[in-house]
Structure 1
Amino acid sequence: MITIYHNTRCKKSREGLEIVENSGKEYKIREYLKDPLSEDELKSLLTKLNMTAIQLVRKNEKVWKENFKDKDLSENELVRIMVENPKLIERPIVENETKAVVGRPPEDINNVV
C-alpha cells in the first residue's frame, strides 16, 4: 500500500498526488496537518527516507525562523517539534512498504510507486 502525506493547499503536494493516482496502484492519503504523525511514525518515516530530522524541516516556515532556527536541537527534539508543528514537515512524502521519498521534485515519487 502506498501512502501520500499530503497538504491540499500545496501545489507540489497536489502534483505528487496526481503522480500517485496515475500509478494505478492502491494508495491512501494522509492529510498530516489534520491527522498528525506520532513521534514513532515520524521516526519510522525518517528511516525509510534515509534522512535526519533536520533534513525534513521546512526551514522557511515562520514558526521555524521565529522559534527554532538558531537553536542546537537533538534529533529527538526535532522530531518532537515536527510532531507538534506538522507544518514544518517537508511535503509531499510518498511511502511504500520499504522506502519513502520527498516529492521534490514530484517526479521523484516514481521511485516508490
Structure 2
Amino acid sequence: MNKLTIYHNNNCSKSCTALSALKQSGEEFELIEYLKKVPTIADLTKIVEKLNCKPHDLIRKTEKIYIEKFKGKELSDQDWVNAMHEYPILIQRPILIKGNHAVIARSSETLQESINYLSQSGDD
C-alpha cells in the first residue's frame, strides 16, 4: 500500500497546518522536508505529472529568488523543473501525494478534503 507523502517546509504556516492535520488524521505518512532533502529532477517531474499541472504552476511567484531571477521570463517546462531543483524554496507547499494522486494543500478549506481524498485513494 502506498503511503501518503507530504513535501513540507517548517517555515511555512500552511505547511505546518497541513502536517498537524495529517498527524491528527491518524493516516500513516512520510515527511519530506524538501529544503533539506531537495527533490531530484526526476522526483519533481513526477510531482508535476501527479498534480496534472505545468511546472510553472508549481512555482511560488512571491519568493525573492523568483522576482530577482525569473519574473517575466518564458522558460521551458524543463527549465522550470531545473529551477525548482536548484532553488527548492520556489516549490509550492505543502504537497500531499499518494500513489498517482497529488494536491497542493494550501487552502485550509480544502486541506481536510485533500487528506480524506488521498487517504481513500487506491494504490494506483
Check the 8 A contact 1:16/1:109 in 2, yes or no. Answer: no
Q: Which has the larger radius of gyration?
A: 2
TM-score, length of structure 2 as denominator length = 0.87
Q: Which moved more, 1:95-104 or 1:31-40?
A: 95-104
Q: Distance in 2 between matches of 1:32 and 1:51?
A: 19
Name the % identity.
38
* 1:96 aligns with one of 76, 98, 104: 98
Where structure 1 has 5 or more consecutive residues not aligned to the other structure, the ranges are: none
With the length of structure 1 as denominator, give the TM-score of the two structures. 0.95
Letter matched to residue 94 of structure 2: P
Alignment RMSD, CA only?
1.1
Any gaps of 5 or more consecutive residues in structure 2?
A: 120-124
Q: 1:70 aligns with which of 72, 80, 83?
A: 72
For 2:62, the equivalent position in structure 1 comes to 60
3-state SS of paired residue (1:101): strand
Q: CA deviation at 1:109?
A: 2.8
Local SS of the residue matching 1:30: strand
Once superposed, which parts of structure 1, at least 4 consecutive aligned residues long, lie more than 4 Å away?
Answer: none
